[in-house]
Structure 1
């Protein structure tokens, strides 16, 4: 019995196709690893150099961190905008929304608590009275 090249059930892969997928997967992971290592090395350089303007260092590290997250999402978690990844992209967007809400809420609470704190001078006077 002869089998045609395209006469396969969905998900039924031949050995040659599995080997191609494995070598392609290793290449994608290797490229991601190289990019991640380069961004990590640049981050350490930015944090330890005096060549950059001091107040710009945190901004540079934030940009490099966002780039690092993008590398991990694309190369390691395989989250793309393809039609088969719609649920992954929606889950990622929902997760980012929750994290942003938690961070923003925490900043609002900390700012409010900071303005409600008693000044240290008044606190010292209160301790001396008792």
Structure 2
């Protein structure tokens, strides 16, 4: 892209773009058709690994949940990099901050809900025998 002259005679840079407007080059890891095919292949492999981890006896049974969480985080990473083109470049600062803010809000809602539900029992009034259904 080159510079061009405006009607007022000023030189303007065509490379100047709006925030969030991305130009993915073919030379990036996640750029072009090959990046999409690689991302799709990795997503399929991680999906198959998830089903195998849930069904197989090769993984110590209490560790299956941990394996599924690790595979889910890897799946999110593949989608963020290969399909949403979220990288560490300077043009993605706003996108990363928006993602971090979204994760913070979701974490606050989930953890707050768990905290409230865990403490509901402490604040409940005692049940009468009639409410508990233990009356003869």
Tell me, yes or no, whether TM beats 0.5.
yes
For 1:114 and 1:54, the matched residues in 2 are separated by 31
Report the CA distance between 1:31 and its aligned residue. 0.6
How far residue 110 of structure 1 moved from its aligned partner, in angstroms, is 1.6
Q: TM-score, normalised by structure 1?
A: 0.75
Match 2:88 to one of 75, 78, 81 = 81
Give TM-score scaled by structure 2 length: 0.72
- Count of aligned pairs between the two proteins: 111
Map 1:42-61 → 2, pairs under 5 A: 42-61=49-68
- Displacement of 1:26: 0.9
User: 1:57 and 1:97, CA in 2 relative to 1: closer, same or farther beyond 3 A?
Assistant: same
Mark the runs of 5 or more structure 1 residues left unpaired by the alignment: 1-5, 12-19
Task: Please identify runs of 4+ aligned residues in structure 1 that moved more than 6 A.
Answer: none
Task: Give the structure with the larger helix fraction.
Answer: 1
Alignment correspondent of 2:7 = none
1:9-68 deviation line (CA, Å, top 9, x unaligned): 525xxxxxxxx85xx521111110000000000000000001211110001000000000
Structure with more of its chain in strand, by fraction: 2
SS in 1 for 2:58: coil
Could you say what the CA RMSD is over the residues aligned between the two structures, in angstroms?
2.4
Ranges in structure 2 where 5+ consecutive residues have no aligned partner: 5-13, 16-24
